[in-house]
Structure 1
């Protein structure tokens, strides 16, 4: 292909997952990028409800119109105790993937400077003055590229930083009996058999007879699909549900690692989303972190005249806290239930959420951390510091 025929854009987004779409949506809302040409490339058309995102929030957000359900209460449980958590001043919010995609794409379609192409990205090559992006069909160039295509090998081909997976299978079920409490989400129920891992059930009821019931593990290895499904079926039976209909299924595996993905960033290519370490490493939560990071990125692009995308990432102390927890769970995966139980048994839910959102003061950090079992964290601290 003649280089004169290669179409040039100011910005190219390779992959149109949560992080990319949040960032482009906020660029549009700011009104500061109308003169910039933006290309979105993805092999997936984003026409299916492929995932469910949840996040806690105190205030109204720009996503309020697509929140499908809110909960003011949550349940935490293990084999020994149950605790009803009053989430105030927070609410736990649910957004369906398809509702998010439709909302964002409808907004972007009104702007002529934005192009979406259903093409699979094959390579990204940075030169001194621009970046080449190749797809199976075409080649493009851009001043800057924002990549959210996750490269598994980066994290999993090294041994310095542990890599766990938050892996799950979920069923949207409709029951014949009124069994669920639609005002309360089950945040973590560790009463299921742990089998040497960190395993829990996660339940999001939308009515007395409908809920998303998800079997989740924080562990290194995935299970055969039938094992997740057997556990969900057993859990429903233990709740007293003999008859139910499966309306939808979802499954996923989210990497949980403190691997410094940002070290792969260059002057003109920035990794975003899971590919850029935007997923909260200790919990696998993605929505809230991506919401904050995408706002920071748009502000960074607005404020910088001579962009060097390597300058965007700033490491903080919460990265180090996550590293300690993942080190423990990687070596002793069976400790997950006791660690999370120690946090939620007597801890203030609002303070825990604030801590997980990385918004606490140093004093508040210690109030949360001191609830955790001391010995595993002290050992992890020595391992990490002297590694």
Structure 2
């Protein structure tokens, strides 16, 4: 513990991005301070899920892996083979505690809680981070705070951790998207079984409107009754989340501030997947950090064509959600699962993108790409 006011780097926010970057800087020659506004980051305990498409230093924290996923609607179920890219989950609680333990014994990193950053200013050769209690000096800031920009659409979800008395879940098969018949809503259930009697069941909307009234325990209980009848179970805990899905986030760094995390463009706009993009982002930053002030760094990893496709997906979801559900079912039924996974993970090759485009409804997507809506769309 350094407990000083002058550092080489300051990281604002002890979320996934801030802690991931701090982990790469552990016991290096740089002095680092993490400034966090909350008093306990584990109040925000979440489950992060992703495909094994990129090597990270956190494989030992993986809670569960699945080799098969299911996408379905009321008429059909499609199994997705994930043997080459396992679908897996990490608890933010395990992630946070692992890195906090490392920080507490490190020689070069401080973490300060319950400090609200008011302003960041350049003063001579220093960058000054002004908080509600003190001022801290550094040469560069990595900022993971959200901005105040209103996002076009959000992924909103309510999840319940279910523990059943009997073995009712298939723990080798996760339900990736179980589309429902809620009219004019892009809604699906998402089920991750950790064992035969323990699972996370989430109700998820992609929506431009607030859907909190439809995200509650009552929906989960009704789902359990319809799916499993009178089988006894308890809800051990619940979680609610809202992920901004915006292709227009400006992630360009200023001369002395680099944005990191979700609000730097690390969240894939059309899917909400973030964890792997954050790991790619901070690995890239570590490579160029010695010369970071000499570069105006774009930390947005989405290529132009992916951002364009995300924009089209989100516009169709907002105006014709039922059509988009059917289009995705067609896509998963016909195209390569490996290409789909790389595409959803934001790591496709140009050939993967071509395969995805080939199996999409080209006329509809072309009309949206040109800004032309069909008559039956909102």
Q: Judge same fold: TM > 0.5, yes or no.
A: yes
Distance 1:299 1:155, change over 3 A: farther
Following the alignment from structure 1 to structure 2, what is the Cα–Cα distance between the partners of residues 359 and 213? 27
Distance 1:89 1:314, change over 3 A: closer
Q: 1:145 aligns with which of 121, 141, 145?
A: 141
Q: 2:129 aligns with which of 127, 130, 133?
A: 133
Alignment check: 8 A CA contact 2:302 2:346 kept = no
Alignment check: 8 A CA contact 2:68 2:174 kept = yes
Q: Residues 1-387 of structure 1 correspond to what in structure 2 (within 5 A)?
A: 7-28=5-26, 34-44=28-38, 45-48=40-43, 50-57=45-52, 61-127=56-122, 129-151=125-147, 153-156=148-151, 163-190=152-179, 192-225=180-213, 227-242=215-230, 243-263=232-252, 265-302=253-290, 304=291, 306-310=293-297, 312-313=299-300, 316-317=303-304, 318-383=306-371
Residues 101-150 of structure 1 deviation map (CA, whole Å, 9 limit, x = unaligned): 01111122222210000023232323263322222221212211111110
Following the alignment from structure 2 to structure 1, what is the Cα–Cα distance between the partners of residues 54 and 280? 14
Distance 1:328 1:282, change over 3 A: same
Helix, strand or coil at the partner of 2:368: helix
Shift of 1:374: 2.1
What count of residue pairs does the alignment treat as equivalent? Answer: 365
Shift of 1:20: 1.1
Shift of 1:227: 4.2
- 2:375 paired residue number: none
Bigger drift between 171-180 and 90-99 goes to: 171-180
Distance 1:219 1:378, change over 3 A: same
Distance 1:144 1:226, change over 3 A: same
The two structures have a TM-score, normalised by structure 2, of: 0.90
Shift of 1:232: 1.7
Shift of 1:314: 6.0
- 1:3 paired residue number: none
Following the alignment from structure 2 to structure 1, what is the Cα–Cα distance between the partners of residues 138 and 63? 37
Following the alignment from structure 1 to structure 2, what is the Cα–Cα distance between the partners of residues 261 and 311? 9
Shift of 1:372: 1.8
State the Cα RMSD in Å: 2.1
The two structures have a TM-score, normalised by structure 1, of: 0.88
Bigger drift between 225-234 and 284-293 goes to: 225-234
Shift of 1:270: 1.2
Helix, strand or coil at the partner of 2:351: helix
Unaligned runs of 5+ in 1: 1-5, 157-162
Following the alignment from structure 1 to structure 2, what is the Cα–Cα distance between the partners of residues 268 and 141? 12
Alignment check: 8 A CA contact 2:249 2:263 kept = no
Distance 1:305 1:220, change over 3 A: closer
Shift of 1:91: 0.6
Following the alignment from structure 1 to structure 2, what is the Cα–Cα distance between the partners of residues 251 and 315? 27
Alignment check: 8 A CA contact 1:269 1:309 kept = no
Alignment check: 8 A CA contact 1:198 1:335 kept = no
Alignment check: 8 A CA contact 1:148 1:275 kept = yes
Helix, strand or coil at the partner of 1:262: coil
Helix, strand or coil at the partner of 1:47: helix
Shift of 1:81: 0.4
Following the alignment from structure 1 to structure 2, what is the Cα–Cα distance between the partners of residues 219 and 56? 24
Residues 137-169 of structure 1 deviation map (CA, whole Å, 9 limit, x = unaligned): 212122111111102x3244xxxxxx1100000
Helix, strand or coil at the partner of 2:276: helix
Helix, strand or coil at the partner of 2:268: coil
Following the alignment from structure 1 to structure 2, what is the Cα–Cα distance between the partners of residues 224 and 56? 28
Unaligned runs of 5+ in 2: 373-378
